[in-house]
Amino acid sequence: MYPAMLGLRDRRVLVVGGGEVALHKVEALIAQGARVTVVAPECCAGLDRLALRGEIDLRRRRYRDGDAGGYALVRDANGFGLVFAATDDREVNGRVCAEARAAGIWVNVADDPELCTFHLPARVERGAFQIAIGSGGGAPFVVRRLRQLLERRFGPEWAEWMEAAARFRQTVRVLDLSRDAQERAYDRFFGASVDSDRLRARVPTSAEIASWVEKSGPRRVVPFAPPARLAPAARPALVSLVGAGPGDPGLLTVRAQKRLLAAAAVVYDRLAAPALPCELGPDVELHCVGKEAGHHSVPQEEINALLVRLSLAGKRTVRLKGGDPFVFGRGGEEAEALRSAGVPYEVVPGVTAALGATACAGIPVTHRSEAVRVTLITAHECGSGDRARWDLLAQDRHATLVGYMGLSRLSAVTARLVAAGMSPGTPAALIAQGATPSQRTVVSTLGGLHAAGVAAGIAPPALFVIGPTVHHAATLDWFASRPLSGERLGLFAPGGDLREALDLAGAGVIEMPRPLTPAAQVVLEAAPVTAWVLRTAREVDALDDRRAPRAFCIGPAAAARARQLGWPSVVELSVSAAPEEIADAIGTREEERTCSL
């Protein structure tokens, strides 16, 4: 097979079939600008919706002899025709294939590589940056697993990096440089912005770009970040600085949810990605600016400029940040940049991690007669330029000290506090992945906290909590005691009573639209599910290569289809079971699985 990328904008494509497999192909074709005709006597709901919106030409009838061959007539002078067969009837698929081949039209037949004249690779998409993985149709199970591996390695911030690379290329092209000089400039960009060992990328700062351009040649250049005031909209659109809370999408405020659902663009941090509403439409721009502990893939100045550009283009924008925008979230800096640019903005507060994560760990930050004050601090203050009064904090016996970004300098923090007079025996805890199904809490003492965290393998993001109320975690840790605690379950909408039952049992439930939206795909990549709860064979088909290690299938049809497709573990649950009974059954199976390990 010879790999190629096809430009499909305004090209005509025929898809024969009306099920979920056909829907996946149609969505991918529409995303590339193709004009799609679908022929099928019956269609899934997703295709019906696309037809109602006028995005496809839907012909509700059986395939007729000559349909594929006649499709050669719609090829224009600049393009070509493509035909896809995606029915459950191999005889029909064979007829489509034969006619397309006879007419010299490329044809792809789902799950039948022998009938294909071209194959579709699996893709990892990060904006304009795409990685295609194929096996020539011979080993699709390998392709699926490689795609999942690469999606984990290449974070969504690569999309912003690719946009920055395109802008840098335009900057370099207007210089009077030789080809060798251009390549040296590109080498500087790539070498400085890509960590080839960790496969991480970041957007260079304007100062870096200016430095590289200065070294490359004469200063006849276009600014790297185009001025936001070029070709403005009639009036700037509102930018909402929204707090996503500590990790649980259920802790989004009502106002935050409304702003997200009304947005034309969302600029989000990596840690805020699980809070994206999965029902956001495919037309909503998603910009990952990649902030996480120790890795800011997009400089703050570029984030500020992006927010201004989006607003002045007339796009109502949400800047989605973990926790609360004004609690160690640099929301104040973004608000100042928006005000300076004349952009209207608002702040939608969120539940800060100091309150959300501690509550989920069973640690009250205040408690009568024990703690009457709360101090929030970042452990980054324990270093050069230290502005924290560790001496005063160490002497406050009736306070709870909560530290953000607390792992990298935890040893120095505890040493400072002990040296300033705080007892090494003061109760202390580390909370990692707070308020998510992956939450872990390590309870120790001030003197032993760093060693306990290392022994437990605690990794960022994590908070430290120091103070007398930490001892309550032993009896008040309600979060981890629920039967489905630790489970992140995927469920197709509408979840209804089943979603409520799973949530009450302690599972993190990701309710997905069908078909999956780009936002839903971001959520799945940011917070992979531990199992899917599936009610129909069509729901099983809809996941295609978005499988999890386990499938809890309600009814024999869904279970049979999951086994047919080779899911690693399939548990069949009774179709007549009440939602609470289903939650109990999943909890029992999880308990059995844990014991067997």
SS3 of residue 437 by DSSP: coil
* Alpha-carbon gap, residue 523 to 519, rounded angstroms: 6
Residue of 140, 309, 318 whose CA lies nearest to 225: 309
User: Any residues with CB less than 8 A from the CB of 295 and at least 6 apart, and which?
Assistant: 200, 202
User: Any residues with CB less than 8 A from the CB of 400 and at least 6 apart, and which?
Assistant: 358, 363, 365, 366, 371, 373, 374, 375, 465, 466, 467, 468, 469, 470
* Alpha-carbon gap, residue 216 to 411, rounded angstroms: 45
Specify whether 269 is catalytic. yes
Burial of 319 (0-12, 13-18, 19+ CB in 10 A): buried
* Alpha-carbon gap, residue 319 to 299, rounded angstroms: 15
Q: Are strands 265-268 and 285-288 parallel, antiparallel or unpaired?
A: parallel
577, amino acid identity: A
Residue of 270, 275, 204, 202 whose CA lies nearest to 435: 275
Catalytic residue among 25, 67, 248, 291: 291
Cβ neighbours of 331 (radius 10 Å): 22
Quick one: three-class SS letters along 479-490?
A: CCCCCCCCCEEE
* Alpha-carbon gap, residue 401 to 129, rounded angstroms: 43
Q: What are phi and psi of 409, to 5 degrees?
A: -125, 25
* Alpha-carbon gap, residue 435 to 289, rounded angstroms: 22
* Alpha-carbon gap, residue 253 to 248, rounded angstroms: 11
Q: Furthest-apart CA pair in the chain: how many Å? A: 88
Residue of 135, 133, 138 whose CA lies nearest to 151: 133
SS3 of residue 302 by DSSP: helix
Q: What are phi and psi of 423, to 5 degrees?
A: -65, 135
User: Any residues with CB less than 8 A from the CB of 222 and at least 6 apart, and which?
Assistant: 170, 171, 174
Q: 223 preceded by cis ω (within 30°)?
A: no
Catalytic residue among 25, 67, 248, 269: 269
Residues paired with residue 329 on neighbouring β-strands, in sequence order: none
User: Any residues with CB less than 8 A from the CB of 20 and at least 6 apart, and which?
Assistant: 44, 46, 514, 515, 538, 541, 542, 544
Specify whether 291 is catalytic. yes
Which string of DSSP letters, residue by residue, matches 201-224? E-PPPHHHHHHHHHHHS-S----S
| C-alpha of 55 from chain center | 26
Cβ neighbours of 299 (radius 10 Å): 18
What residues are labeled active site? 269, 291
